[in-house]
Structure 1
Amino acid sequence: MFENMEMPDKKLLEDIQKIQSLEIIPSILDLVCRSTGMRFAAVARVTEKQWIACVVKDDIEFGLKAGGELQIETTICNDIRSTGEPVVIDHVREDERFKNHHTPRIYGFQSYISMPIILKDGTFFGTLCAIDPLPIPLSDMNAATMFALYADLISFHLYSQEQRAQQNQLLESTRFQLQQSQNNLRQYSHISRHTLQEPLRKLQLFSGMLEQDMNLPPNHKAVTIAGKINILAAEFSTMINDLTDFSDFEQKTDEFQLVDLDTVLKAVLNRLRFKIAAKEALVHRSTLTILPAIPQQISQLFYHVLDNALTFTNPLVPVEINVYGCDVTAEELAAYTHLTDKDNYYKVCIEDNGIGFDRGHSSQIFDLFARLNTKEQYAGIGMGLSQARKIIEHHNGFIIVDSETGKGTRFCLVFPKTLPQ
């Protein structure tokens, strides 16, 4: 009677394994037996063609094991699958509906309860059921309510299990895509640093040879063109290197540590001392704080923003740059709705009295190779601020920009005071 009538298909086997993997199921079966006094309980997967026991508690030697199957036509669960309604029988012999029913006669029980397990998407999964050879007053003890709660709990755990499986699949897919992306970036990095640079080096070599050709006068057209080719090749080489550095940024695994921003700032100003001297710039600074950060990246961040301030200067006024740190205001944090604790943020502001720009370009200046001015007016290829934004975002911070044409620019670099999660 309990032999397999038909091999379950792959989907059905997966459903059975899902139930069997839920650690809570044996506890539920034990609880329903203790609460009702019934001595056999099971969770069954029920379809149009099959009734299969997923997990069983058998204290009456009924003989049905986990994975065992009943002929679907012999079960009351088949009716429950059609109606979606539970069945509760206190005493078969006294029940007008079931006293002549074939199921109690076949399996020899007098009390019976079966509750449909409906999945969160509304589909019927199977039943939580219990039987006993003796009559038990299930209606008096309101057993249907208890079984309904347990059936809903099973449905919830199946749903949670499905969600975890989907999340794991998504995570695995994301991990694979990340590996592919990292692989592609490594290939790109090698190509850009070696393969693409080689023809540029040769181009510079040959154009340099042409520039230095003693048989051509200095003002010869070929010498002028060769000079321009040399400059463009050098610029293109720089662009490739900077773009490669930008792409390689995500591959770095430097760890956060407590960083004295004041020490980093002093070192960056020392790196820029020749440009500061050439611009005759006056740099005012106040003492900065200590924050969790990646030292090398903070050094790059300060360098890019300060270099930007020293590049886009106003030739009509003495160059002045002011660097200071302070806490973030609630108004400044208001634009970032996911951030609520203003006391957890610190900002480093770098103000200049340079040429500034229209506020409408505040987001454009962070784009790769973005230029608001011609390269004849101001040197550079437009990568510095892109790198700056990437670094600050890697630190779970952001940049506030305030500028006005002809009146200078203020960049506020906002950092969390705690380590990023």
Structure 2
Amino acid sequence: MKYDVTAAPELSHTIRKMDSIPSIKRILEAICVSTGMGIGAVARVDQEKWEACSIVDNLGLGLKAGYRIEPANTICSELCSLPEPVIIADVRKCANTRWKEKMNGGGFRSYVSFPLYDQHGDFFGTLCTIDPSPATFDEKQVIRLFGLFSELITFHLGTLERAERAESQLREERKQARRRDRFIAVLGHDLRNPLSAISSAAQFLQRHAEEGRQKRMITIIYDASVRMRRLVDNILDFARMNLGSGITIISRPSNLYETIKQVIAEFAAIWPGRPIDLEIGGGELTVPCDADRMAQVFSNLITNAMEHGDAGRPISVAAYVDNGCFVYLVKNNGKPIPKRCLDNLFKPFVRGADSTEQKGLGLGLFIVHQIVQAHGGRITVNSDDNETVFRVHLPLTGRV
């Protein structure tokens, strides 16, 4: 071959994708066999270059995807303005002197080239085969075969373009999601200090206010600040997970029975009108875990039971050891969780019911699930017309 061939400094995304499609290679092998020619290629052709997107080189010339030829030296560059494909079995018998010059200049005698178009109908390049020797083939069969293969490659081009567009949109959406999560993390962090101030001030006023309307109003403020703090904590945890830092677990031997009692005492102070029946083993239960994170699990599950359970009936909480695991159980009466919601219950922004009056962001159970998983445990839920029961199972030996 006498053409000046250069390799592209870096393969474009389209070329890498096309060269990796096995069916493209099989098409090129098929056209080489059917025409008896040694080189088959799908090439991208424009005013600046002829560039191989995928190539089969049976002549051993070392041609690869990404190799380029000056378009002026090729007949392929003329196909964008030609109404018909170019079929030359022997260039010495060709009447077109310009084509003879180009073929002779490259040292080739036989050549077949069909135009390729993208899904918008714009000229993309060519499906071609070429050889230094004259070829013998059935022209009508070659036209049918190349026409079919050109349609298949055009389909692939459309698929690649749609995939590239989808990947580009996905990258942009991920960038926007990261910016949003950073904003949420900063916002949540900045909200914590004023919320802590409100909560502390309300708690102080609660202790010194006399019984009556004023104390009830102060209690409402305190309850709201506590709930807001939980929401902010959930938002911050969610943002950390999305930003890649994940749930931070600092594991140390912890008495989980004592942690549960502390959580129950906090709820009794905040919601004295909502009884919680506690059934717990005696003494200590030391488990290697992050006690603060597990307190978040205990608290979120009780909050969930209070928000979705029957306000006139107590919530049941139990903790015990079963089959080498610490088990934490929260049970409430009320409407069952719809079956269609159960599979997605532990995903972010999912709530267990259809009511538009549901409180919260739908992050509580997601955070619970992530913390339990980070400890090597698991969480299950059963819900029917009588009751809804959440169970957390944590290995006594720590993460497994």
Both structures adopt the same fold (TM-score exceeding 0.5): yes
SS in 1 for 2:229: helix
Q: Which runs of 5+ in 1 are unaligned?
A: 4-12, 213-217, 286-292, 327-347, 373-381, 416-421
Aligned equivalent of 2:50, options 49, 53, 71:
53
AA at the equivalent of 2:383? V
For the Cα contact (< 8 Å) 2:338–2:352, is it kept in 1?
no
State the match for 2:95 in structure 1: 100
Alignment partner for residue 283 of structure 1, among 260, 279, 282?
A: 279
Deviation at 1:137, TM superposition (A): 0.8
Scaled by the length of structure 2, the TM-score of the pair is: 0.56
Structure 1 residues 330-368: Cα deviation after superposition (integer angstroms, max 9, x where no partner): xxxxxxxxxxxxxxxxxx89475x6x324489979858x
Describe the superposition over 1:208-258 as per-residue Cα deviations: whole angstroms up to 9, x where unpaired.
Answer: 79x57xxxxx68xxxx55434432332232122111112112115137999
Pick aligned residue for 1:392 from 352, 365, 369: 369
Residue number in structure 1 paired with 2:134: 135
The reply on whether 1:401 has 2:383 as its aligned counterpart is yes
Q: Check the 8 A contact 1:304/1:384 in 2, yes or no.
A: no
For 2:255 and 2:168, the matched residues in 1 are separated by: 43
Deviation (angstroms), 1:101: 3.1
Structure 2: which amino acid aligns with 1:388? L
Residue of structure 1 equivalent to 2:68: 66
2:247 maps to a residue whose letter is D
Task: From the superposition, tell whether residues 360 and 299 of structure 1 become closer, same or farther in structure 2 (CA, over 3 Å).
Answer: closer
Query: What displacement does 1:183 show?
Result: 1.7
SS of the aligned residue for 1:234 comes to helix
Q: Which residue does the alignment assign to 1:115?
A: 114
Distance in 2 (alpha carbons) for counterparts of 1:79 and 1:45: 12
1:200 and 1:314 mapped to 2: Cα distance? 25
Q: What amino acid is the match of 1:411?
A: V
Q: 1:273 to 1:198 in 2, by over 3 A?
A: closer
**Quick check: which has more Rg, 1 or 2?**
1
Partner SS state of residue 135, structure 1: coil
Match in the other structure for 2:169: 170
SS of match in other structure, 1:70: helix
Cα 1:53–1:365 shift into 2, 3 Å: closer
Trace 1:264-413 onto structure 2 (pairs within 5 A). Answer: 269-271=260-262, 281=277, 283=279, 300-305=296-301, 350=329, 352=331, 356-359=333-336, 366=352, 387-388=364-365, 390-392=367-369, 399-404=381-386, 409-413=387-391
Task: Quote how far apart the aligned CAs of 1:123 are.
Answer: 4.7
> Are residues 310 and 271 of structure 1, via their aligned partners in 2, closer, same or farther at CA, if it must alter by over 3 Å?
farther
Query: What is the root-mean-square deviation of aligned Cα atoms in Å?
Result: 6.1
Residue deviations 1:5-55 (CA, integer Å, cap 9, x gap):
xxxxxxxx9xx9456556839x969968975564776654346xx483113
Whether the 8 Å contact between 2:32 and 2:129 is mirrored in structure 1 is: no
CA distance in 2, matches of 1:103, 1:236: 85
Number of matched residues?
336
- Tell me by how many angstroms 1:180 deviates: 1.3
Q: d(CA) in 2 for partners of 1:80 and 1:135?
A: 25
Which amino acid letter does the alignment assign opposite residue 69 of structure 1?
P
Q: How does 1:207-226 map to 2 (within 5 A)?
A: 224=212, 226=214
Query: Secondary structure, in 3 states, of the residue corresponding to 2:128?
Result: strand
Deviation at residue 194 of structure 1 after TM alignment? 1.1
Give 1:24's aligned residue.
19
**Sequence identity, in percent?**
19
* Partner SS, residue 68 of structure 2: coil
**Change over 3 Å in CA distance of 1:265–1:174 after alignment to 2:** farther
Who is 1:237 aligned against? 225
Structure 1 segment 240-259 matched on structure 2, within 5 A: 240-250=228-238, 251-252=240-241, 253-254=246-247
The C-alpha deviation readout for 1:365-407, integer Å capped at 9, x for no partner, is 858x9989xxxxxxxxx66996235423785977443244xxx
Q: TM-score, normalised by structure 1?
A: 0.53
Structure 2, unpaired ranges of 5+: 62-66, 282-288, 342-349, 394-400
2:190 partner amino acid: I
Post-superposition Cα deviations, 1:150-179, rounded to whole Å, max 9, x if no partner, equal 767865775565455435423432332232
